Amino acid sequence: MPDTNQLFALDRLDPQVTALHERMGALGLASADPLTMPIAQARAAAERAHVFLNQNAPPIPARDIVAEGPVGPLQLRLYRPPTTQDGPLPVLLYFHGGGFAVNSVDTHDRLLRLLALRSGAAVVAVAYGKAPEHRFPHQHDEALAALRWVARHGASHGLDGERIAVGGDSAGANLALGVALAARAPGEPRVSFGLLFYGMFAHDFHTVSHRRFGDGRYGLTTARMRWYWDQYLGHAEPTRDPRAAPLLADLKGLPPLLLLAAGLDCLRDDSLRLAERLAASDVPFALSVYESLPHSFASMTRLVEAADGAVTRAALAVRQHLTEAFARGAQPTEA
């Protein structure tokens, strides 16, 4: 007998997502699965697919910057939204997803432009080194270096180093949360807000969402997640290092966070568990679970209305915490 939970889940998939997948299939845009193709081929497939997904992105100015990283040059891309306000712009420091192994700033170009345009904040996107060529803690160290660069050198690019949010999706959400945790230390730049799309926060494949959604019906699989963690860590053993698995960290003292989870995602419970721990640690947060959407929905804004609405929700939260709250002279207490 078919699993009734699976039948219910299948009925919930947003029909616009189904239509998107069918259209991409008809165009020959293969899934970027590093389990079935060499990593270089998977990366190229991801770039091709996102050229389609990124069409009709808002034409706002963007330019590449080379910053000093912990082990060499660090590539950043600065997106500046149009503004009539005087003075430096607040900043959303963003880390793209892709299991630490695929994707790029280019694959996330439409999302980054939308976040800048709708939030009114400049977006600084980080082209961190990918696994397995670079392994933990390389990406964490580059992410923290990017935060320090914004705080120390952003003024020369019209950026306000006192108003910084961090954000990311999937592996990028892991980095964003790790940076927010590190920023609590004395002498580090202050992070005012965190934006976390469907993050991979712990090396754990035994959650309810992995059991229910990890077979690949909606894209991301548990097997692929195991592979991504192996490339990132360089071994298959679970890690207790909170820089790699921030769900295990002491979360007290974090800034307000917004968690946006996909309901049809093997990583859904990473966000739900993080929300439980944030509540227990008295960290202000909000959690939105988009029940009919799969992993990576933030890249589907061109053709999926619910995904576009979620990105708008995220951008408005950034605006609230970096612009409106500062105009009132106080920080909001909730995400």
Q: Report, as residue numbers or ranges, the catalytic residues.
A: 170, 265, 295
Taking CA atoms, 253 is separated from 153, 257, 267, 301, 335, in Å, by 26, 11, 25, 33, 14
Nearest-angstrom CA–CA distance, 216 and 58 = 32
Cβ within 8 Å of residue 2, ≥6 positions away: none
Give every strand in the sheet of 159-169, ordered side by side.
Answer: 62-68, 73-79, 122-127, 89-95, 159-169, 193-197, 257-264, 285-294
Amino acid identity, position 26: A
Largest CA distance in the chain: 64
DSSP 160-172: EEEEEEEEEETHH
Q: Contact 145/97 with Cβ under 8 angstroms?
A: no
169 and 298 Cβ atoms separated by less than 8 Å: yes
Q: Give, to the nearest 10 degrees, the angle between helix 109-119 and helix 305-319.
A: 50
Residue where the block lists tokens 């080194």? 129
Overall size of the chain counted in residues? 335
Question: Structure tokens of 183?
Answer: 């920023």
Query: What element of type H or E holds 75?
Result: strand 73-79
